[in-house]
Amino acid sequence: MDYISISTYENEISMSFLIEWEKPLAIGKKMNELNENAYMNGYNWEAFFNYYLSKHASDVLEGLISNSEAGTYVAVYERTPENMIRVNKFVEIIRSLIENEDELYRIIREEGENIEWD
């Protein structure tokens, strides 16, 4: 089992990022230590991803509907071949950030005040 999963339904694709898994949870706590506004529940991960994607992968934001909760960030797209590419790219972005967490910490330290936290 993994902290990211992709599900397809009749006409939608959803990607779930389980932020209460051990590694994302530990990273979220450190992000909060660096910036008190960065309490990394699903809503603040949404705020972070909206900021990050707008700067680094704006195409992933096309058609994206976020459905966040306290312990999960969910991205939902209409089920199309183009959106499947977007979902897979988004998954790779999240994995890269979680596996290279120093980049997350750098963004929080240097750009955290520019993020519209929940």
Query: Which segments of 22-118 does DSSP mark as H helices, in order?
Result: 22-34, 42-56, 58-61, 81-99, 101-111
pTM comes to 0.95
State the CB neighbour count (10 A cutoff) for residue 92: 13
Domain count along the chain: 1
Tens of pLDDT, residue by residue over 4-33, are 999 999 999 999 999 999 999 999 999 999
Distances (CA, A) of 45 to 68, 77, 79, 93: 8, 17, 23, 13
Within 10 Å of residue 118's Cβ, how many Cβ atoms?
15
Domain hosting 36: range is 4-114
- Predicted confidence (pLDDT) per residue in 74-93, tens digit: 999 999 999 999 999 999 99
